[in-house]
Amino acid sequence: MAKYSLKRLGMALLTLLVVASLTFLLMNSIPGSPWLSEKSPSQATIDALNEKYGMDKPVIVQLGKYLENLVKGDMGVSLKMQKNRPVVDIIKEMFPVSASIGFFAVLWATLVGVTLGCLAAYNRGKWIDSLLRVICTIGISMPTFVIASLLLTTFAGSNEALRFFPTIFNASLGIKAYILPCLALGLYPMCYTARQSRSSMLDALGQDYIKTARAKGLRNPVIIFKHALRNALIPVITYLGPEIAFAFCGGFVVETVFSVPGLGRYFIQSILNRDYPVIMGTTIFLAAFIIIMNFFVDLLYKAVDPRISYSEGGK
Amino acid sequence: MSERIKRARFGSMQPDIENLLELTAEDFAPATDEQKEGFTVDRESTSYWKDAWRRLKQNKVAIVALGVIFLYIIFAFIGPMLVPYGYDEFNKGAENLYPWHYSIEDKAILDSVSGDDDARLAAALEAAETEKGSALSSIEIAKIKATIKSTKLDIGEFKKENGIHLQPFGYSTGELKRIEAGEKVFPHVFGTDKYGRDIMVRLMIGTRVSMLIGICAALLVLLIGATYGSISGFAGGRVDSIMMRVVELIYSMPEVLVVLLLSTALKPALLAFQNSGDGPMQNLVGLMGPNLISLFVAFGLLYWVTMARIIRGQILQLKEQEFVTAAKALGASSGRIIRRHLLPNCVGQIVVTTCLQIPEAIFLESFLSFLGVGVSAPMTSLGSMAADALKGVQTYGYRLVIPAVILSVMILSLNLFGDGLRDALDPRLKK
């Protein structure tokens, strides 16, 4: 276990390093210098600026410097959107909003998804199973922005009778402000989780130990919750990693649609405004977050199911 | 002949053929056509694809999905030829049309009665003043105002009374006049946007763009993934483990972030390239737009890993089989074995994975276009149309709903068809 964890940690760090370097190199390859804005400065000014920011050195040295600063927690300052404000500060301000929406979305998606999946598996072939299957298939075919904007127009649109929620996100409204974004963000993972837990539950229910449990005369709820569910949950855990990644990247759309002042929306705006330090900082931060989450999910997976071996030859 | 037949040894379990076949000269007469008929195989041998098609046909959901996909193809590729409007053509005087209209007479009536309240107020005030004979006090004015407001004309009721109905499809006033003059004008089925561009044509082109991107991205993934996976699986050993490490690395990268990053970074470079000359490559870049190219680059860089994993798994199993040994013994090169013997054996998996990649690519493209970093301005896509519609969603909700529904149904039917195809091509995988 310790060896495996170390290995995974090494892999995670390597991925992080690759993402950070890729980000830096890509941003560095953009033609044109950041100093060429409305006023065209003299060559001397450009040289001085280049020297000040270390941009006269070879790229690899710059990369090393950038990574070093990154480890120290320095991501540079915003060039355009909030001029000269450190990127780290911006992330600190924006991320909690995104994180809370993402967290609640993942939470409800997993809870409801597993419940519906079990319900469908238990009622296999009955109308409830078919109904859930139809809903889930439709759910995973709707892009998040479709779900989000339909929810927005329906429940925060011009129709007074249905207007339960604010059109523009307002954190002071408390839970009311979070409902629609979380709902929109969680629908896709919920449907996916439901499908997955249905099939793994069916798998588990077909196992011999379930027969044994039935033969012992256990009641159905006990069989389902105590015996089958535990094993059925394992594949669901594997999906948690991608689900978290989805929640934070899908957050871009949801935050844009509901005007949530979160990191995702800010990231998109920084791309549209070409504020490179913000783009780099946010990319690396979000990538690190997702990679670390994946790392923990992997460990959790391993801890929950000791049967799983991670030998090289495995598929 | 008969001398050659060996006599059964004593105690042999073999049947005594000599006794079983008491042949007469008649038995050696040529068979008549009628007799030959009986020898023909009752059931034709089915090929892999025929068998799969037979299974697919039994799957009603998949067939319906296939039908829907065909409709989409007609809509996206033939549709724009039938509609006389261009997707970027500004129809002057036909801006912001709803997908419905009133006939000219009805519109004139409506215009006359729905004149603003101020006019009615002024008329009422004047009438009251002449009646009273002197200037009105402020209280009286307020009273009149209130009555005018409360007796506001109910447009819905009025329409019912006068038999004014909405007519389907959008026409501008100018176009309606031209129709009256006997000209044939193609309707704006879904209305027009704020520049007067026909929304239906834009939807068709957007669907076409989405589909083409999906297909091209899937083919790109197929090419890279199948090559990489088969080499990795076939080589085995250390090569395999290094190659799979790379796959693992890419697998754990957050794709959407990298795609967004790529589109940011590649855009200036591609724009510079596009403006550098007038060669065919530059034109291609100009046609596709930098965002789209970075989308493909991202697919080529990141999304092939699933395909590579699947192919590798298949090849690992297949390469131990006898026909590979036989091919090796005959001196076939590794490349030939992979191309001629291994890959054709995982064609089912390849087709299914490619098919399911298409909706995924469409998903991603619409996502990026929605955020404004996908298909760029003169071109259109379902995602960017939805994004445009979001701004005026309170008045023109249908402009958001229509592309959203088209996109969702497209992805849905592609997914369902892919699932059906998987069940048909590889029944073992059926859940």
- Nearest residue to A235 (alpha-carbon basis) of A86, A114, A60: A114
**CA distance, residue B351 to nearest chain A CA (Å):** 20
**pLDDT per position as a tens digit, B60-75:** 888 888 898 999 888 8
Please give the pLDDT value at position A157: 66
Average pLDDT, chain B: 76
**pLDDT per position as a tens digit, B394-412:** 667 777 888 888 888 888 8
Q: Among A28-42, B70-84, B137-151, B336-350, where is mean pLDDT lowest?
A: A28-42
Cross-chain residue pair B404–A149, CB shorter than 8 Å = yes
Tokens of A267: 């990231």
**CA distance, residue B46 to nearest chain A CA (Å):** 32
Residue A61's pLDDT band (cuts 50, 70, 90): confident
Does B323 have pLDDT greater than 80?
yes
Write a three-state SS string for chain B: CCCCCCCCCCCCCCCCHHHHCCCCHHHHCCCCHHHHHHHCCCCCCCCHHHHHHHHHHHCHHHHHHHHHHHHHHHHHHHHHHHCCCCCCCCCCCCCCCCCEECCHHHHHHHHHHCCCHHHHHHHHHHHHHHHHCCCCCHHHHHHHHHHHHHCCCCHHHHHHHHCCCCEECECCHHHHHHHHCCCCCCCECCCECCCCCEHHHHHHHHHHHHHHHHHHHHHHHHHHHHHHHHHHHHHCHHHHHHHHHHHHHHHCCCHHHHHHHHHHHHHHHHHHHHCCCCCHHHHHHHHHCHHHHHHHHHHHHHHHHHHHHHHHHHHHHHCCCHHHHHHHHCCCCHHHHHHHHHHHHHHHHHHHHHHHHHHHHHHHHHHHHHHCCCCCCCCCCHHHHHHHHHHCCCCCHHHHHHHHHHHHHHHHHHHHHHHHHHHHHCHHHCC
- Separation between Cα atoms, residue A297 and residue A275, nearest integer Å: 33
Does A213 have pLDDT greater than 50?
yes
**pLDDT per position as a tens digit, A113-165:** 988 888 888 887 888 888 888 888 888 888 888 888 888 877 766 666 666 66
**CA distance, residue A149 to nearest chain B CA (Å):** 7
- Separation between Cα atoms, residue A208 and residue A147, nearest integer Å: 41
Residue A313's pLDDT band (cuts 50, 70, 90): very low
**Taking a C-beta distance cutoff of 8 angstroms, is the pair A281, A88 a contact?**
yes
Mark which residues 24-43 of B lie under 8 Å from A by CB.
Answer: none
Does B268 have pLDDT greater than 70?
yes
Please give the pLDDT value at position B51: 81
0.90 surpassed by pTM:
no
- Separation between Cα atoms, residue B336 and residue B328, nearest integer Å: 10
Mark which residues 185-244 of B lie under 8 Å from A by CB.
Answer: 241
- Separation between Cα atoms, residue B315 and residue B338, nearest integer Å: 9
Please give the pLDDT value at position B170: 65
Indicate the residue of A26, A29, A146 with minimum beta-carbon distance to B408: A146
* Beta-carbon contacts of residue B370 (< 8 Å; ≥ 6 apart): A143, A145, A253, A256, B383, B384, B386, B387
Please give the pLDDT value at position B101: 67
Q: Among A67-81, A205-219, A226-240, B346-360, where is mean pLDDT lowest?
A: A67-81
Does A195 have pLDDT greater than 80?
yes
Which of B251, B256, B261, B316 is most worth mutating to test chain A (most A CB atoms within 10 A of its CB)? B261
Please give the pLDDT value at position A315: 35
Which of B275, B318, B371 is most worth mutating to test chain A (most A CB atoms within 10 A of its CB)? B371
Q: Between these two residues, A174 and B203, which has the higher pLDDT value?
A: B203
CA B31, B32, B34: angle at the middle one, nearest 5? 120
- Give the Å distances, CA to CA, from A69 to A62, A66, A92, B134, B382: 10, 5, 17, 84, 42
Average pLDDT, chain A: 79
**CA distance, residue A192 to nearest chain B CA (Å):** 13
Which residues of chain A are within 8 Å of residue B415 when distances are taken between CB atoms? Answer: 137, 140-141
Cross-chain residue pair A14–B256, CB shorter than 8 Å = no
Please give the pLDDT value at position A312: 40
Does B104 have pLDDT greater than 70?
no
Does B428 have pLDDT greater than 70?
no
Q: Between these two residues, A92 and B126, which has the higher pLDDT value?
A: A92
Cross-chain residue pair A23–B261, CB shorter than 8 Å = yes
**Taking a C-beta distance cutoff of 8 angstroms, is the pair B236, B414 a contact?**
no
- Give the Å distances, CA to CA, from B229 to B241, B243, B308, B318, B381: 12, 9, 4, 13, 33
**pLDDT per position as a tens digit, A40-55:** 667 777 777 777 766 6
Cross-chain residue pair B411–A294, CB shorter than 8 Å = no
Q: What is the ipTM of this complex?
A: 0.78
**pLDDT per position as a tens digit, B220-255:** 888 888 888 888 888 878 888 888 888 888 877 777
